[in-house]
């Protein structure tokens, strides 16, 4: 049984790694779509989201089958349960990347954002690119140090997100209402991507250590509406 | 074993029912806070969110323990796995209700919304109140008819949500930028509450029938940014 469990679990782990990589690709292409006005990148994110959704379904099915056939306990059980939750988190991250890509496609060949928002969103995107890299490697290597960095650094994204509100509420803001909506919603999508990365990082810590850091203070504490 | 499983599963089911009721209370109080400028209602949602979070943790722990000790298969396994996912969905709905309550508290004693947005948000709130009632009863009664109604009716909320964008983009809009942000974000939170209710309804259908309607076309297909 143990050998079969390990083999089957490895297949699921491979799918989960692939899902994390797909999400990273989506996050990066959404940023390219948004900031470099690349409509093909936007389309690739939108089209690619189906594969991410299918991977989630497949991973959940495999996990339920593993639970039924192998009745894992202790660490094995923790891995299976965490894998299901990670798959759902990644699925949601794919949706959020798609929303950003859709916003970029909608305004193409114009930018969805005002000129004075570009630098701020580029900083948020750089943060997310780094986070997506960390997410892939923490998962592949079961690396809690990297996971802890993802958790600790999220405040930086929250601070950038807060600046999106400062920007549109400032006296210097000259954007249209539509641009204001884009800044607010795309900013929110990016901040949520960060929150989900934190949630994924907590799952990795839980898999490795058995300690669930989600029982530490929760994310998404504030909406930063203003 | 079977008797123990049923007893323990009943305890988890009771907690899940309680969680659904807490979420309903939060949704209704958030609406009262937003539309009737009731700051005590707002505070009750914010304070009550901790209980919802704790219930999620407790349910997840109980489910993992059940999986380890009882190794359920077939329908029992489906119930346990779905219970975990429902608990996470309800936890997220609690967060969204809290965000609405926080927005109401922030602007108190003023409304977070413009006068001309009140009717629209009241309609969205009425929809969510109905949906929350349905959510509680579909769960308590394992009632797929009600669950199917939740799934089918979500388009109405999406249509109302779309009107939030029409409102702030219309020539008649006189609100401030801060009010525009509130309309857009609170509208988004409400729409997401509806999406999560749909996801919960799909879980209930899956528990009862074994058919997973989440493999039907996905929710949150568009962001309605404009």
Q: Give the HSE-up count for residue A195: Cα atoms under 13 Å, Cβ half-sphere.
A: 20
C-alpha A49, offset from chain centre: 13
Structural domain count, chain B: 1
pLDDT digits (tens, 9 = 90+) for A27-72: 999 999 999 999 999 999 999 999 999 999 999 999 999 999 999 9
So what's the pLDDT on residue B4? 83
pLDDT band with cut points at 50, 70 and 90 for residue B220: low
Angle subtended by helix axes B2-35 and B177-209, to nearest 10: 160
Angle subtended by helix axes A2-35 and A177-209, to nearest 10: 160
- The alpha-carbon gap from B127 to the nearest alpha carbon of chain A, in Å, equals 23
Q: Is the dihedral of CA B186, A203, A28, A41 positive or negative?
A: negative
pLDDT band with cut points at 50, 70 and 90 for residue B153: very high
C-alpha B187, offset from chain centre: 14
Instruction: Give me A48's structure tokens.
Output: 């690619």
Is residue A75 situated within a structural domain? Answer: yes
Instruction: Give me A120's structure tokens.
Output: 């701020």
Cα–Cα dist A4/A78, whole Å:
17
Cα–Cα dist A130/A150, whole Å:
9
pLDDT digits (tens, 9 = 90+) for B19-63: 999 999 999 999 999 999 999 999 999 999 999 999 999 999 999
Cα–Cα dist B55/B131, whole Å:
21
Chain A residues within an 8 Å CB radius of B212: 57
Is residue B29 situated within a structural domain? Answer: yes
Q: Span B5-25, mean pLDDT? A: 96
CATH of the domain at A190: 1.20.58.220
Is residue A143 situated within a structural domain? Answer: yes
A218–B contact, CB cutoff 8 A: yes
So what's the pLDDT on residue A3? 83
Is residue B224 situated within a structural domain? Answer: no
CA proximity to B122, closest of B3, B30, B20: B30
Q: Which residues of B101-134 are buried (b: 16+ CB within 10 A; e: fewer)?
A: bbbbbbbeeebbbbeebeebbeebbebbeebbeb
Closest chain A residue to B78 measured between Cα atoms?
A64
So what's the pLDDT on residue A216? 56
pLDDT digits (tens, 9 = 90+) for B85-142: 999 999 999 999 999 999 999 999 999 999 999 999 999 999 999 999 999 999 999 9
Instruction: Give me A32's structure tokens.
Output: 């390219």
pLDDT digits (tens, 9 = 90+) for A92-136: 999 999 999 999 999 999 999 999 999 999 999 999 999 999 999
Q: Is the pLDDT of residue A220 over 90?
A: no
So what's the pLDDT on residue B218? 45
Is residue B211 situated within a structural domain? Answer: yes
- Segments in chain B forming alpha helices (H): 2-35, 39-70, 74-107, 118-140, 144-169, 177-209
CA proximity to B20, closest of B132, B178, B182, B175: B132
Q: Is A70 helix (H, G, I), strand (E, B) or coil?
A: helix
pTM above 0.90, yes or no: yes
So what's the pLDDT on residue B223? 54
Closest chain A residue to B82 measured between Cα atoms?
A64
Cα distances (angstroms) measured from residue A166 to each of A125, A138, A149, B20: 18, 33, 27, 36
Is residue A113 situated within a structural domain? Answer: yes
Is residue B225 situated within a structural domain? Answer: no
A224 sits in which H/E element: none
So what's the pLDDT on residue A214? 66
Q: Span A76-105, mean pLDDT? A: 97
Of the candidates A189, A218, A225, the beta carbon closest to that of B103 is on A225
Q: Is B226 helix (H, G, I), strand (E, B) or coil?
A: coil
Cα–Cα dist A80/A100, whole Å:
31
Cα-based angle A65, A68, A72 (whole degrees, multiple of 5): 100
- Residue found by looking up tokens 């939740």 in the block: B150
pLDDT band with cut points at 50, 70 and 90 for residue A215: low
User: What is the number of CB-based contacts under 8 A between chain A and chain B?
Assistant: 92
Is residue A147 situated within a structural domain? Answer: yes
Instruction: Say if CB A135 and CB A20 are below 8 A apart.
Output: yes
Of the candidates B64, B103, B178, the beta carbon closest to that of A223 is on B103
Residue % of chain A over a pLDDT of 70: 93
Q: How many residues does chain B have?
A: 226
CA proximity to B94, closest of B187, B10, B197, B11: B197
Cα–Cα dist A217/A199, whole Å:
12
Show the domain range for A133.
2-215
Chain B residues within an 8 Å CB radius of A169: 177-178, 181
- The alpha-carbon gap from B48 to the nearest alpha carbon of chain A, in Å, equals 14
């Amino acid at each position: 049984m143990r050998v079969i469990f390990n083999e089957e679990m490895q297949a699921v782990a491979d799918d989960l790694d692939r899902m994390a990589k797909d999400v990273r690709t989506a996050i990066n292409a959404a940023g390219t779509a948004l900031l470099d006005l690349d409509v093909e990148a936007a389309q690739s994110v939108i089209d690619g989201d189906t594969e991410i959704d299918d991977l989630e379904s497949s991973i959940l099915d495999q996990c339920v089958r593993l639970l039924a056939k192998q009745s894992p306990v202790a660490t094995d059980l923790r891995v299976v349960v965490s894998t299901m939750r990670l798959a759902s988190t990644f699925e949601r991250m794919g949706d959020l990347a798609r929303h950003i890509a859709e916003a970029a496609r909608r305004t193409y060949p114009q930018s969805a954002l005002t000129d004075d928002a570009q630098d701020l969103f580029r900083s948020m995107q750089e943060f997310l690119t780094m986070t997506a890299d960390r997410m892939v490697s923490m998962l592949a290597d079961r690396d809690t140090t990297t996971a802890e960095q993802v958790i600790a650094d999220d405040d930086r994204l929250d601070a950038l997100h807060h600046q999106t509100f400062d920007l549109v509420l400032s006296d210097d803001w000259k954007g249209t209402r539509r641009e204001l909506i884009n800044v607010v919603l795309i900013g929110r999508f990016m901040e949520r991507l960060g929150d989900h990365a934190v949630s994924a990082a907590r799952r990795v810590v839980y898999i490795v250590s058995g300690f669930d850091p989600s029982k530490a203070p929760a994310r998404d504490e504030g909406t930063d509406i203003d």
